[in-house]
Amino acid sequence: MLSSFASIAAEAVHHNELPVPPWVYGLFALLVFAMMLGVLFAFRQAATKIPAPHNTVAHDDHGHDVGDHH
């Protein structure tokens, strides 16, 4: 019984060929990660480029305690 099961299992397993060589999959993954890294670097420091009250300096605010520096 066990030998017949092994022969049936061996017949059921068939080898499928890959459409491209295996190193092409690695190259494709490397290219995808490189493109994602490029997108990440494109948006680097993007939050600090948006003017907001906490990251801008008011140049027209001259109080009484500020000396005449012009």
What is the structure's pLDDT at 27? Answer: 98
Give CA–CA dist 70/66, Å, rounded: 11
Average pLDDT on 51-60 reads 72
What is the structure's pLDDT at 3? Answer: 72
Q: The whole model's pTM is what?
A: 0.49
8 by DSSP, 3-state: which? helix
Reply yes or no on whether the pLDDT at 66 is more than 60.
no
